[in-house]
Amino acid sequence: MAKTTMNAATFRDLSLAGEQGTLVSAPLAGLYNSDSSSTSKSQTKNKHSGLSNFMAVSFFIVSVVGMMVSLLYFRKVKRETRYVPTFSLKEALMIT
Protein backbone atom coordinates (compact mmCIF):
# COMPACT_ATOMS: atom_id res chain seq x y z
CA MET A 1 0.00 0.00 0.00
CA ALA A 2 1.11 3.50 -0.71
CA LYS A 3 1.47 5.90 2.18
CA THR A 4 -0.58 9.06 2.05
CA THR A 5 0.84 12.19 3.54
CA MET A 6 -1.41 14.97 4.74
CA ASN A 7 -0.04 18.49 4.64
CA ALA A 8 -1.48 21.34 6.65
CA ALA A 9 -3.48 23.89 4.68
CA THR A 10 -1.83 27.25 4.27
CA PHE A 11 -3.61 30.59 4.29
CA ARG A 12 -3.30 30.65 0.50
CA ASP A 13 -5.16 27.32 0.26
CA LEU A 14 -7.91 28.50 2.59
CA SER A 15 -8.27 31.80 0.76
CA LEU A 16 -8.56 30.04 -2.60
CA ALA A 17 -11.16 27.63 -1.22
CA GLY A 18 -13.10 30.56 0.21
CA GLU A 19 -13.12 32.32 -3.17
CA GLN A 20 -14.30 29.17 -4.92
CA GLY A 21 -17.05 28.67 -2.37
CA THR A 22 -15.89 25.22 -1.33
CA LEU A 23 -15.63 25.94 2.39
CA VAL A 24 -18.32 25.45 4.97
CA SER A 25 -20.41 28.39 6.13
CA ALA A 26 -17.88 29.54 8.77
CA PRO A 27 -15.77 32.39 7.31
CA LEU A 28 -12.03 32.68 7.76
CA ALA A 29 -10.72 34.95 10.47
CA GLY A 30 -10.22 38.38 8.95
CA LEU A 31 -12.05 37.63 5.71
CA TYR A 32 -15.66 38.52 5.01
CA ASN A 33 -18.01 37.25 2.34
CA SER A 34 -18.99 39.66 -0.40
CA ASP A 35 -22.75 39.44 0.16
CA SER A 36 -24.51 42.32 1.91
CA SER A 37 -25.61 40.37 5.00
CA SER A 38 -22.06 39.59 6.09
CA THR A 39 -20.94 43.14 5.29
CA SER A 40 -23.50 44.60 7.65
CA LYS A 41 -22.42 42.13 10.34
CA SER A 42 -18.80 43.18 9.92
CA GLN A 43 -19.74 46.86 10.08
CA THR A 44 -21.62 46.41 13.35
CA LYS A 45 -18.74 44.35 14.66
CA ASN A 46 -16.31 47.16 13.80
CA LYS A 47 -18.45 49.77 15.57
CA HIS A 48 -17.93 48.01 18.86
CA SER A 49 -14.26 47.23 18.33
CA GLY A 50 -13.26 50.82 19.17
CA LEU A 51 -15.03 50.62 22.51
CA SER A 52 -13.56 47.22 23.33
CA ASN A 53 -10.06 48.40 22.35
CA PHE A 54 -10.46 51.44 24.58
CA MET A 55 -11.63 49.25 27.46
CA ALA A 56 -8.72 46.84 27.00
CA VAL A 57 -6.14 49.63 26.95
CA SER A 58 -7.79 51.30 29.95
CA PHE A 59 -7.73 48.03 31.90
CA PHE A 60 -4.05 47.56 31.06
CA ILE A 61 -3.14 51.09 32.17
CA VAL A 62 -5.10 50.76 35.42
CA SER A 63 -3.41 47.40 36.06
CA VAL A 64 0.07 48.84 35.51
CA VAL A 65 -0.65 51.82 37.76
CA GLY A 66 -2.04 49.49 40.44
CA MET A 67 1.08 47.34 40.24
CA MET A 68 3.33 50.39 40.62
CA VAL A 69 1.38 51.68 43.61
CA SER A 70 1.49 48.27 45.31
CA LEU A 71 5.27 48.03 44.75
CA LEU A 72 5.75 51.50 46.23
CA TYR A 73 3.71 50.60 49.32
CA PHE A 74 5.60 47.31 49.64
CA ARG A 75 8.95 49.14 49.60
CA LYS A 76 7.64 51.72 52.09
CA VAL A 77 6.51 49.04 54.55
CA LYS A 78 9.72 47.08 54.08
CA ARG A 79 11.78 50.22 54.81
CA GLU A 80 9.69 51.19 57.85
CA THR A 81 9.83 47.73 59.42
CA ARG A 82 13.49 47.19 58.46
CA TYR A 83 12.68 43.65 57.37
CA VAL A 84 15.68 41.38 56.93
CA PRO A 85 15.05 37.89 55.57
CA THR A 86 16.06 35.06 57.88
CA PHE A 87 16.64 32.58 55.09
CA SER A 88 19.37 32.22 52.51
CA LEU A 89 18.61 31.81 48.86
CA LYS A 90 21.80 29.80 48.44
CA GLU A 91 20.58 26.95 50.65
CA ALA A 92 18.66 24.08 49.11
CA LEU A 93 14.94 24.08 49.88
CA MET A 94 14.76 20.30 49.92
CA ILE A 95 17.27 17.88 51.30
CA THR A 96 17.67 14.79 49.17
Q: Is 41 domain-assigned? A: yes
Predicted confidence band at 10 (pLDDT cuts at 50, 70, 90)? confident
Q: Is residue 58 part of a domain?
A: yes
Q: Which residue has the higher pLDDT, 65 or 35?
A: 65
Distance (Å, whole) CA 8 – CA 15: 14
Q: Which domain holds residue 69?
A: 36-83
Element (H, E) at 45: helix 36-81
Q: Are 28 and 15 in contact (CB under 8 A)?
A: yes
Classify residue 5: in a domain, yes or no: no
Task: Provide the domain count of the chain.
Answer: 1
Task: For residue range 46-82, list pLDDT tens digits in order.
Answer: 566 777 888 999 999 999 999 999 999 999 998 899 8
Residue 76 falls within a domain, yes or no? yes
**Is residue 46, in this structure, part of any structural domain at all?**
yes
Q: What pLDDT is attached to residue 94?
A: 78
Question: For residue 91, is it within any domain?
Answer: no
Is 64 inside any structural domain?
A: yes
**C-alpha–C-alpha distance, residues 95 and 34, integer Å:** 67
pTM score over 0.75: no
Question: Is 62 domain-assigned?
Answer: yes
- State how far the Cα of 36 lies from the Cα of 42, in Å rounded to an integer: 10
